[in-house]
Structures are given as structure tokens and as C-alpha cells.
Amino acid sequence: MLGSGLPNISAGLAVFLTVFNLSQSTRQSTDSKPPPVLTTTGGFGEGSGMQQPSLPILVINSGSSSLKFSLFDPKTETPLASGIAERLGTDTADLKLVDLDGVKHEEVMPGADHRSSLLRVINILGNRRRFDVRAIGHRVVHGGEEFRQPVLVTESVVRRIEELADLAPLHNPASVQGIRVATKLFPDKPQVAVFDTAFHQTLPDYAFHYAIPYEYYEKYRIRRYGFHGTSHHFVAFQAAKLIDKPFDEAQFISAHLGNGCSAAAIRNGRSVDTSMGLTPLEGLMMGTRSGDVDPGLHFYLQEKEQRSLQDITEEILTRRGGLLGISGVSRDMRLVIAAADEGNERARLAIEMFCYRLARSILGLTASLSSIDALIFTGGIGENSAPVRARVLTHLAILHPELDQNLNENHGKGADGRITSRSGLLCLVIATNEELMIARETALLTA
């Protein structure tokens, strides 16, 4: 069988050495004193010199063609404003936000880029008032092995984020762009980078290594990194509060289910295993991503379809796989469920595969725990799809979950997120809030 010696390996890893022009990255030395915080001259916040604790924390999540923001009161953690600019760089770019007065704004901004959209956000938020922030927090997808925790943004940090773009080509360059834009607009404000991979840097070596020649880890740091770390960390912390158990004594399995999906095992407050690997393509079936496939599939399709390895990885497995590829309907689980309810057999198969593969991953993750305090569902699908949660639990009978149909249909509301009876495996629905987690980390690091 093709690739039978390397089951469940990252599809991204299978072509990593071929697709990217790899060279061993020069590691940044760690000085006893941190380098100066990244600053430039000129900009929106120039001259304010304000570092008052009462000033809000601005959180920026910069995507390849989008910019999402949230503004938090660091004392109360209350969201003050939020919004998103989408389809940036196109004629249909638009902005939707809720301002400091709770007023909704929607406008089209043809040709807007990250800088102009963020400037427009600031103009709206600053309407009739002086707008200032205490600090800015950024979501960065890939931090490699160097960034095990949030860090103050410096020029060397930005350069290293850029160097790691090989591992997250759609996400890291966008994060750098967001940092650069914020630097120009708020040159005197500290910025913090919070990495999706950081929470998973506590994985033991036997959990993060691939069974490939060790030299490739030594040369290129090829290993399993994991993603959605900020989300897994947040919901596990919330779950510990709900069950009234110290976070560093609790054990959870967290399933973050959205367009991207991953599961993680958390033991005593630390991630000890996760489903994603070198890239966000490994692991669970997702909206358009295939998740785990036999590495031999690349060579087989290359011969049969006469397509490049890069095209197979980035087009077939990343953009045309997952729910979309199997159902032929959509990457949106809601639409796939609707099609299945109308008798679409491929849609039914897509849902069944999605749920079964998640359950299989959850059972695999239990190997890293000594007990399970709770199974957590989060993300757009995890928080809102009662049918998916119910189907997943049918595949987990060995763990003895006792689903409460009414609680599940209500997504655990009014029951502290609980969707199961008080006996058997406790299952919780907890809304993730990556922006709040980033705001917390930013506030701590800039206090």
C-alpha cells in the first residue's frame, strides 16, 4: 500500500521539502536585555505618551484579505467595540463594526487595504472623542519553536515572524502587515504578539516528532506544532472555572470546530497533544481542508493528474477537500446538514466522516491523559451544531457520555455549558474568545 509506513502524517509535511526553498534559519540570540520595542516616527498616536491603565487594549487579527479588531477594557474585560474589514484589496472591500456607543456601521471601501481600513476604524471610534489605546495585541498563527509565550514586538521578532512564513504562508505575512500598520498609527504604544502555536510548545518530544530521519528536525525544525492554541487555552481555562477545579490540576480534551478544526489534550494546564501538526492541514476533516491523508497520495495524484505537488497540496487538499470536497455542497456545516436533510447522500457522508474522524481523534488524545474532567466543544460548529455534537458522542460510547437532548439543543445555555447528564463523561459547550485571551496576555505583558 502506498505510504503505509507513515500513517496520519501531515499532508503539508509530505511536500514541505519540495515546495519550499528551505534553508536553515539563523536563530536569534537571546540577550539578557530585551531589544527596544518596535517604533517608527509619525502616526495617529504620536505624542500622547499615555500609558494609563484605564486606556483600552486593541486586539488585531490580520488575515490575508481581512482585518478583525476588538477593543477591551483591561480592568473589566468588557468588549467596548469590535468589527471586521473583509475582501481587502478588491472593489468589494467592506467594513462592519459596532462602535463605542453601540452603533452599527457598515460601509463599502473599494480598494481598501489593511492600513486604510484600520485608519477608518480609528476615525469612526474616535468620532467626537480623543481615541487612544494602552497597547495593541496581535494574533500570529505560527511562532515556530522560538516563541513559547506572548512577546513584546520588536524588529527582531517581526523578522522572525516573516522567516516563519514558509510554515504559514497565508497567515504570518498578514500578521506582519497588521503589526506594521499599527506601528505607524500608534508609534509610541507597546505591541504584543500572541502565537497560535505557543500553547502547544509543552508537547513532549515523543508527541511532536515525526517518524522521519532526525536530521530534518535538526536542519529545518520539522515537527508537529499545533494550532488554535489561544482558543484551546481559553476554553480549558473557562472549563476549569465551571467545574471549580484549579486549572493546573484539570484534564480536558478540547475540540475547536470551525472552518479550521483541531482537538487538543490538556493536562494540568498544559497542552500535551493535539491533532494539527507542522501545518494547519494535518488532523481533522475541516471546511475545505482534507486533514490526514496517506503521504503516498501526493505521488499517486501527481502521476494520474499530471499536477505539481504544490498544486495537489494547496488546491486539492487545502481548498477543495473537507466538507466541501466530499459533499459537493459547501464548506459551511449548516448548508451541508440542510442538504443531508433533503436526502443528499454525499452531504450525509461528509457529516458522518467529519464526526467519526473527530471521535477517533478524541479517543487517540485520551492516551495522553490519566482521566478526563470534561470534553469541550467550541468554535462555530462546536458551539452551534447540536446534530454534530450528538453524532460525535455516539462514536464515543466507550467513554460513557449520556447526552441530554434538551441541553444539547439549547447548546448548554442555562446549564453552565453542560450538554450531558451528571453521570458519565461531562461534555461542555464553551464559546471561545481568542480576542479576549489576546487582550489578557497583552495587558499582562504591558502592565
Q: Which residues are catalytic?
A: 196
Residue keyed to cell 499517486: 300
Strands in 151-152's sheet, in edge-to-edge order, are 104-108, 94-98, 79-86, 67-72, 57-62, 135-140, 191-195, 151-152
Dist CA 12 CA 8 (whole Å): 12
Dist CA 324 CA 305 (whole Å): 20
Dist CA 167 CA 221 (whole Å): 11
For 16-45, b where at least 16 C-beta lie within 10 A, e where not — what string?
Answer: beebeeeeeeeeeeeeeeeeebbbeeebbb
Residue keyed to cell 450525509: 348
Dist CA 109 CA 114 (whole Å): 11
Integer CA distances (angstroms), 267 to 113, 283, 368, 398, 440, in order: 42, 20, 8, 21, 22
Give the closest residue to 323 by CA, choosing from 388, 253, 237: 388
Give the closest residue to 283 by CA, choosing from 9, 4, 19, 3: 9
> What does the DSSP 8-state code read for residue 401?
B
- Which amino acid belongs to residue 228? H
| CB-side neighbour CA atoms (13 Å) of 248 | 0
Helices within 149-193 (DSSP H only): 155-163, 172-185
C-alpha cell at position 165: 512564513
Dist CA 87 CA 112 (whole Å): 9
